[in-house]
């Protein structure tokens, strides 16, 4: 099975590119972030007609997450880790296995960007991440299933994940508090699947539109699959998709697992 995480930066604007990629790769599960539309505006029929089940948690203009899966899924929850905060940033479900029983708990996140260090957005990001660690801990204990927590984390875990570590030192996406919260998530029994399989490789999943960052390979690895009791076979960051015209500023990242 494979699970793709992809911040698509407006599903309606990128739909042609997304469907082009889906038809080429036929992924099992897609976790989208930054839908930038409400639930009723999500182009669900484009995916259901291709055999996918669609679950969304949308928001007008901003944020929004979706799980689109050929594997049947149940027990969908949204509005976490801070219920009622008005930010559509988390959706989770249980993917069904052989015999129709829940086999894997899947969590799809669009973590707060954080803006500037002195801004309310950064302090909100740290509160959000603290709440996320508590929520994932409780969810892991509740479901008792193997777990994949994926999405746009807006955190580069270490210097290998940043094209210019000196330039980004203690800047938002690379600050010590943000990385500490990510480490706290991993300490719950998770592994960064990309880094486990590629311990020394320097590659990136996000490239700023401004200044031709993609052409110069100036990016950050901020899109992750954290896995618990799941054996990753491979993780692929699809730079070809990022290179296409009218693409998102994020590349799709696909985790391959057994089963």
Fold classification of 2-257 is: Deoxyribonuclease I; Chain A (3.60.10)
**pLDDT tens, per residue, the chain with 259 residues:** 999 999 999 999 999 999 999 999 999 999 999 999 999 999 999 999 999 999 999 999 999 999 999 999 999 999 999 999 999 999 999 999 989 999 999 999 999 999 999 999 999 999 999 999 999 999 999 999 999 999 999 999 999 999 999 999 999 999 999 999 999 999 999 999 999 999 999 999 999 998 889 999 999 999 999 999 999 999 999 999 999 999 999 999 999 998 6
The CA radius of gyration of the chain, in Å to the nearest whole number, is: 17
Name the residue ranges covered by the structural domains of the chain: 2-257
Q: Return all residues near 212 (Cβ < 8 A) that are at least 6 apart.
A: none
Rounded distance, CA 131 to CA 146, Å? 21
Rounded distance, CA 248 to CA 245, Å? 9
Rounded distance, CA 177 to CA 168, Å? 14
């Amino acid at each position: 099975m494979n699970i793709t995480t992809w911040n698509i930066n407006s599903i309606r604007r990128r739909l042609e590119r997304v469907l082009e990629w889906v038809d080429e790769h036929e992924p099992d599960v897609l976790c989208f972030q930054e839908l930038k539309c409400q639930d009723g505006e999500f182009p669900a029929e484009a995916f259901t007609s291709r055999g996918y089940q669609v679950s969304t948690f949308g928001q007008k203009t901003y944020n929004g997450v979706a799980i689109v899966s050929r594997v049947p899924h149940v027990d969908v929850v949204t509005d976490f880790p801070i219920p009622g905060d008005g930010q559509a940033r988390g959706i989770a479900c249980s993917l069904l296995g052989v015999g129709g029983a829940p086999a894997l708990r899947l969590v799809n996140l669009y973590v707060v960007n954080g803006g500037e260090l002195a801004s309310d957005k950064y302090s909100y990001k740290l509160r959000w991440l603290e709440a996320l660690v508590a929520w994932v801990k409780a969810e892991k204990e509740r479901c008792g299933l193997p777990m994949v927590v994926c999405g746009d984390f807006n955190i580069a875990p270490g210097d290998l994940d940043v094209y210019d570590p000196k330039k980004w030192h203690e800047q938002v996406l690379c600050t010590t508090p943000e990385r500490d919260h990510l480490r706290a998530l991993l300490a719950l029994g998770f592994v960064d699947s990309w880094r486990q399989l590629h311990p020394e490789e320097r590659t990136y999943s996000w490239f700023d539109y401004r200044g031709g960052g993609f052409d110069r390979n100036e990016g950050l690895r901020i899109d992750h699959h954290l896995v618990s009791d799941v054996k990753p076979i491979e993780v692929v960051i699809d730079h070809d998709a990022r290179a296409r015209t009218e693409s998102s500023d994020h590349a799709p990242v696909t985790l391959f697992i057994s089963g």
